[in-house]
Amino acid sequence: MEASVQQGNYVQVYVMLPLDAVSVNNRFEKGDELREQLKRLVEAGVDGVMVDVWWGLVEGKGPRAYDWSAYKQLFQLVHEAGLKLKAIMSFHQCGGNVGDVVNIPIPQWVLNVGASDPDIFYTDQHGTRNIEYLTLGVDDQPLFHGRSAVQMYTDYMASFRDNMKEFLDAGVIVDIEVGLGPAGELRYPSYPQSHGWSFPGIGEFIVSVFFFK
């Protein structure tokens, strides 16, 4: 849940929707259930909701093969409920963290690039590749069917803007956030529980391979 201070003493409250508000096969299958949940939020005086817009779902079928249909249905339901929306551009994997029960990897065609060029992922001292997110080392490298990581993110967000224009113009979408890094927290994957790390221990050194022309 997120609260943001507005004018006077009023604090806006936004509630995070479930990770699988859009299903792992990029379908909006919980309309009736979510409609009832949104109704309860309205009754509780909540201002709006937040939702992850998963890269692995929307561009999962191939480069620039965007499918926003499920998210459009979700956003329409939020609009009909009279709530505002904060959309999170989630370019990381969903799942693999404490309490996660949903698994949405980054696009398979991107993972396929990593199968032949694993340096696109962060690597720890044990040689373990973290496939939750692309390393900063490929930000400007055209390794993904001619595009760099930054170009992929830019194209994705431009497509979101174009396809969600009605909700932007209507003031339904009031904020767009960008989640980067493993778990979407702008952190490096330097806390591997698989190698014995436990909270609040110090993190490990990890490698981001940078490419030079």
Residue 121 burial (CB < 10 Å; 0-12/13-18/19+)? Answer: buried
The pLDDT of residue 103: 93
pLDDT at 110: 98
Walk along the chain (213 residues) in steps of 10 and give the mean pLDDT of each run: 61 94 96 96 97 97 98 98 97 79 94 96 82 92 97 98 98 93 71 67 61 44
Class of domain 2-180 as given by CATH = alpha beta
- pLDDT value at position 213? 40
- pLDDT for the residue 212: 44
Structure confidence at residue 156 (pLDDT): 98
